[in-house]
């Protein structure tokens, strides 16, 4: 930005972005980086991380260099900056040689405020030479958790970015991420040579997201019903573990009239790119994906994130669910969870090629995720506690809205564990859950008769409980390490040291008692919609504005939310501004957008009066 155009951070925020005040820790971060300080920034998805390097880049001499891992993310952020009237460009493999030379020339001439670069491009000989030839105002390392060797988003090139400190020691660096526990934060600081950087750790709370875990019975049918009942016409993301599952679920949803698309690494690159563009550009698209999808997605109007399979860590869960409700409006994080999830994730760890230390860490992370899934208290308190943040019950998760009944299940647990022990004692081999529950409930099937287990003292002692309740208890025992599933040997059950404590009566077992299915449906329907209502003051005008936005976005070749996010359209629909000054007073309407879109918006609103 030319020297004559320099302003205070607050003025830039107001005039360019159209916001009256900073959120959370944005202002101290901006002031620190603009003053030349290094920073490590942890801020939840949707917390406004981009402003923490975009505004300092405008306040300092030179061009802000942003290291970003994804082509689509760079393209959308640059498009959004263009809509704000800023000079921005990107360098990645999507550009042809002529366009890349043009961008490089602009950077050398000082004709850019921000330049986004893939880490591979930056670290190339030509990339480093370009940086030597222009004047970096700052280096922003976005999605900095990619440096962590323990994460599923690991990018080896991120580990080589220490060269920025070595070659440009006077240029401030800011590393930003939405997801990092304390060990990962330390690893980021160490590998990026940010040991002396100031750390800014914002609250991880996303109060607009409702966290909800349901017992998995028929996960795909439950998912379809969840979308039909609560999110018809909404944009969402569904995560599944395998590529086959992704394709099948997308097809199932599409057959029910839901605009669902698959996304996984096995699809052709052009198909992935086409599906991603539709998700970003259109309303009401549901992306069904593996974890290959989502890092850096800026789409603010994702109303739900659903998991058909339990994630392997709280970091992954938090990162993935954080893609919902970036606009601050109500959103849901829904997960279907069952015993098979526990077995599957532990098997993946055991059969993985990682060393023992990595496997132990992965197991600990999985255990924390299991504890969250099985929690009977506030899920948000558990989630935030994992990141070292104390909180109070939120009143907006499933356990707060529908507190589960807790019962002492020690006697039932002793019956189940005794049956596991006696089946093995009688036959010399271990058995899986279905067989053990059949014995407990007194079912004389072929396998029970073949092994003579109808004569065991525990045969039929659990006939008063339905099979589903025994499975719930079994899952909770496994989650608490009071029972093990040997996934390497046909998922048979084995006792643990904790099992013996229960059998001896020195350890009690609590159980989340499930309500009858009909009661679950009634209570679920009553609490389904988030307490914060996203309905606009004038629904008809909002839909008209959304249609106008879609047309403008197509004309400009940008995602609809780049024109205006839903939150701004809600505010416009509620206040119905009839002149440019009134429009400019709405949050999210800066000078450039007022001048570009204001006349058309004012006419449209007047026609709807």
Model confidence band, residue 488 (pLDDT cutoffs 50, 70, 90):
low
Q: Which residue has the higher pLDDT, 131 or 515?
A: 131
Average pLDDT of span 411-425: 95
Same domain, 365 and 416: no
Domain boundary among 493, 524, 555: 524
Model confidence band, residue 338 (pLDDT cutoffs 50, 70, 90):
confident
Q: Partners of 41 in the beta sheet?
A: 176, 200
Same domain, 489 and 342: no
Same domain, 228 and 375: yes
Instruction: Give how far the C-alpha of residue 540 lies from the chain's centroid of Cα atoms, to the nearest Å.
Output: 31
Same domain, 116 and 262: no
What's the CA gap between 551 and 346, in Å, rounded?
48
Same domain, 32 and 162: yes
Model confidence band, residue 150 (pLDDT cutoffs 50, 70, 90):
low
- Give the model confidence (pLDDT) of 100-143 as tens digits: 999 999 999 999 999 999 999 999 999 999 999 999 999 999 98
Q: Which residue has the higher pLDDT, 1 or 125?
A: 125
Model confidence band, residue 39 (pLDDT cutoffs 50, 70, 90):
very high
Examine residue 123 and state whether it is found in any structural domain, yes or no.
Answer: yes
How many CB atoms sit inside 10 A of residue 301's CB? 23
414 backbone dihedrals φ, ψ, rounded to 5° = -65, -40
The mean-pLDDT minimum among 313-322, 359-368, 370-379, 582-591 falls in 359-368
In 267-406, alpha helices (H): 269-281, 314-321, 339-351, 356-374, 379-386, 398-401
Examine residue 72 and state whether it is found in any structural domain, yes or no.
Answer: yes
Examine residue 532 and state whether it is found in any structural domain, yes or no.
Answer: no
pLDDT at 328: 87
| Residues 310/283, Cβ–Cβ less than 8 Å | no
Average pLDDT of span 304-331: 91
288 to 305, 326, 338, 344: CA distances (angstroms): 10, 19, 20, 20
Examine residue 534 and state whether it is found in any structural domain, yes or no.
Answer: no
Same domain, 247 and 395: yes
Query: How many domains are contained in the chain?
Result: 4
| Residues 493/434, Cβ–Cβ less than 8 Å | no
Residue 222 has pLDDT above 90, yes or no: yes
Residues 241/247/253/259 CA torsion (nearest 10 deg)? 110
| Residues 255/342, Cβ–Cβ less than 8 Å | no
What's the CA gap between 520 and 402, in Å, rounded?
9
Average pLDDT of span 335-341: 88
Task: Output the CA angle 12-16-19, nearest 5 degrees.
Answer: 80
Same domain, 417 and 474: yes
Instruction: Give how far the C-alpha of residue 196 lies from the chain's centroid of Cα atoms, to the nearest Å.
Output: 29
Same domain, 291 and 345: yes
Q: Is 209 helix (H, G, I), strand (E, B) or coil?
A: strand
Model confidence band, residue 37 (pLDDT cutoffs 50, 70, 90):
very high
Domain boundary among 356, 378, 402: 402
What's the CA gap between 16 and 488, in Å, rounded?
58
| Residues 47/29, Cβ–Cβ less than 8 Å | no
Q: Which residue has the higher pLDDT, 332 or 351?
A: 332
Examine residue 44 and state whether it is found in any structural domain, yes or no.
Answer: yes
pLDDT at 76: 87
Residues 378/380/382/387 CA torsion (nearest 10 deg)? -170
Q: What is the CATH number of the domain that holds 449?
A: 1.10.10.10
Examine residue 247 and state whether it is found in any structural domain, yes or no.
Answer: yes
The mean-pLDDT minimum among 148-157, 214-223, 341-350, 569-578 falls in 148-157
Among left, alpha and beta (phi > 0; psi -120 to 50; other), residue 423 is: alpha
How many CB atoms sit inside 10 A of residue 271's CB? 14
Same domain, 452 and 565: no
How many CB atoms sit inside 10 A of residue 24's CB? 14
Q: Partners of 238 in the beta sheet?
A: 288, 306
Q: What is the CATH number of the domain that holds 363?
A: 3.40.50.300
The mean-pLDDT minimum among 44-53, 180-189, 321-330, 495-504 falls in 180-189
CA neighbor of 342 nearest in space, from 217, 486, 240:
486
| Residues 561/579, Cβ–Cβ less than 8 Å | no
Examine residue 297 and state whether it is found in any structural domain, yes or no.
Answer: yes
Domain boundary among 524, 555, 584: 524
Contacts of 8 (CB under 8 A, 6+ apart): none
Average pLDDT of span 387-408: 90
Same domain, 39 and 162: yes
Model confidence band, residue 528 (pLDDT cutoffs 50, 70, 90):
low
Residue 529 has pLDDT above 60, yes or no: no
pLDDT at 214: 93
Examine residue 337 and state whether it is found in any structural domain, yes or no.
Answer: yes
Residues 579/580/585/589 CA torsion (nearest 10 deg)? 130
Instruction: Give how far the C-alpha of residue 433 lies from the chain's centroid of Cα atoms, to the nearest Å.
Output: 32
Same domain, 347 and 473: no
Which contiguous run of DSSP H or E holds residue 215? strand 209-215
CA neighbor of 299 nearest in space, from 45, 484, 512:
45
Average pLDDT of span 468-493: 83
What's the CA gap between 518 and 164, in Å, rounded?
60
Q: What is the CATH number of the domain that holds 603?
A: 1.10.150.80
pLDDT at 533: 47
Instruction: Give how far the C-alpha of residue 474 lies from the chain's centroid of Cα atoms, to the nearest Å.
Output: 29
DSSP 463-491: TTS-HHHHHHHHHHHHHTTSSEEETTTTT
Q: Is the dihedral of CA 353, 355, 356, 361 positive or negative?
A: negative
Cβ burial, residue 603 (10 Å; 0-12/13-18/19+): exposed
Domain of residue 302: give its range. 209-402
- Give the model confidence (pLDDT) of 427-438 as tens digits: 889 998 999 999
pLDDT at 295: 64
The percent of residues above 70 in pLDDT, for the chain, comes to 93
| Residues 377/211, Cβ–Cβ less than 8 Å | no
pLDDT at 518: 44
Residue 85 has pLDDT above 90, yes or no: yes
pLDDT at 476: 85
Model confidence band, residue 340 (pLDDT cutoffs 50, 70, 90):
confident
How many CB atoms sit inside 10 A of residue 353's CB? 6
Q: Tell me the pairing of strands 492-494 and 484-486.
A: antiparallel
Cβ burial, residue 141 (10 Å; 0-12/13-18/19+): buried
DSSP 121-190: HHHSHHHHHHHHHS-EEEEEE-SGGGG-TTSTT--GGGGGTTHHHHH-TTS-EEEEES---HHHHHHHHH
DSSP 337-353: E-HHHHHHHHHHHHHSS
Whole-structure pTM value: 0.81
Contacts of 3 (CB under 8 A, 6+ apart): none
Q: Which residue has the higher pLDDT, 406 or 81?
A: 81
- Give the model confidence (pLDDT) of 166-203 as tens digits: 999 999 999 998 876 777 888 889 999 998 999 999 88
Residue 535 has pLDDT above 60, yes or no: no
Residue 5 has pLDDT above 60, yes or no: no
Residue 258 has pLDDT above 80, yes or no: yes
pLDDT at 519: 47
The percent of residues above 90 in pLDDT, for the chain, comes to 61
Same domain, 87 and 105: yes
What's the CA gap between 90 and 462, in Å, rounded?
65
pLDDT at 152: 55
């Amino acid at each position: 930005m030319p020297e004559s155009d320099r302003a205070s951070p607050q003025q830039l925020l107001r005039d360019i972005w159209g916001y009256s005040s900073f959120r959370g820790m944005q202002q101290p971060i901006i002031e620190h980086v603009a003053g030349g300080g290094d920073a490590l920034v942890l801020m939840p998805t949707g917390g406004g991380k981009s402003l923490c390097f975009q505004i300092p880049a405008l306040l300092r001499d030179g061009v802000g260099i942003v290291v970003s891992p994804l082509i689509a993310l760079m393209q959308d952020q640059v498009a959004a900056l263009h809509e704000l009237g800023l000079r921005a460009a990107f360098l990645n493999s999507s550009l042809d040689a002529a366009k890349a030379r043009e961008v490089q020339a602009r950077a050398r001439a000082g004709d850019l405020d921000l330049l986004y670069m893939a880490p591979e491009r930056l670290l190339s000989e030509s990339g480093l030479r370009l940086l030597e030839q222009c004047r970096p105002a700052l280096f922003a390392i976005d999605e900095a958790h990619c440096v962590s060797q323990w994460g599923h988003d690991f990018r080896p090139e991120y580990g080589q970015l220490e060269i920025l400190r070595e070659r440009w020691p006077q240029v401030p660096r800011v590393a930003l991420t939405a997801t990092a526990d304390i060990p990962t934060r330390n690893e980021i600081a160490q590998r990026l040579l940010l040991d002396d950087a100031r750390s800014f750790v914002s609250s991880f709370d996303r109060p607009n997201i409702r966290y909800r875990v349901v017992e998995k019975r028929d996960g795909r049918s439950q998912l379809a019903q969840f979308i039909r009942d609560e999110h018809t016409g909404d944009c969402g993301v569904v995560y599944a573990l395998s590529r086959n599952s992704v394709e099948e679920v997308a097809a199932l949803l599409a057959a029910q009239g839901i605009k669902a698309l698959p996304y996984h690494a096995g699809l052709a690159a052009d198909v992935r790119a086409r599906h991603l563009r539709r998700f970003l550009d259109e309303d009401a698209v549901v992306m069904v994906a593996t974890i290959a999808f989502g890092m850096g997605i800026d789409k603010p109007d994702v109303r739900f994130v659903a998991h058909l399979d339990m994630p392997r860590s709280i970091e992954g869960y938090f990162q993935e669910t954080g893609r919902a409700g970036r606009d601050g409006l109500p959103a849901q994080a829904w997960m279907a969870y069952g015993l098979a999830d526990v077995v599957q994730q532990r098997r993946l760890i055991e059969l993985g090629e990682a060393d023992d230390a990595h496997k132990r860490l992965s197991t600990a992370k999985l255990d924390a995720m299991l504890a969250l899934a099985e929690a009977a208290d506030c899920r948000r308190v558990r989630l935030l506690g994992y990141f070292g943040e104390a909180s109070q019950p939120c009143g907006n998760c499933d356990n707060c809205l529908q507190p589960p009944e807790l019962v002492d299940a020690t006697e039932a647990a002793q019956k189940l564990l005794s049956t596991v022990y006696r089946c093995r004692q009688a036959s010399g081999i271990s058995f899986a859950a279905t067989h053990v529950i059949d014995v407990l409930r007194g079912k004389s099937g072929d396998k029970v008769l073949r092994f003579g287990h109808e004569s065991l003292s525990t045969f039929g002692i659990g006939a008063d409980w339905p099979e589903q309740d025994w499975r719930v208890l079994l899952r909770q025992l496994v989650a608490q390490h009071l029972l093990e599933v040997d996934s390497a040997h046909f998922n048979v059950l084995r006792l643990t040291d904790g099992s013996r404590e229960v059998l001896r009566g020195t350890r009690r077992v609590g159980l989340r008692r499930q309500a009858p299915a009909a009661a679950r449906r009634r209570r679920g329907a009553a609490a389904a919609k988030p307490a914060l209502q996203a309905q606009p003051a004038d629904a008809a005008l909002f839909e008209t504005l959304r249609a106008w936005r879609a047309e403008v976005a197509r004309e400009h070749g940008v995602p609809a939310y780049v024109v205006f996010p839903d939150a701004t359209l809600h505010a416009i629909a509620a206040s119905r501004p009839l002149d440019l000054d009134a429009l400019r007073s709405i949050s999210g309407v800066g000078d450039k957008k007022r001048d570009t879109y204001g006349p058309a918006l004012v006419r449209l609103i007047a026609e709807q009066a």
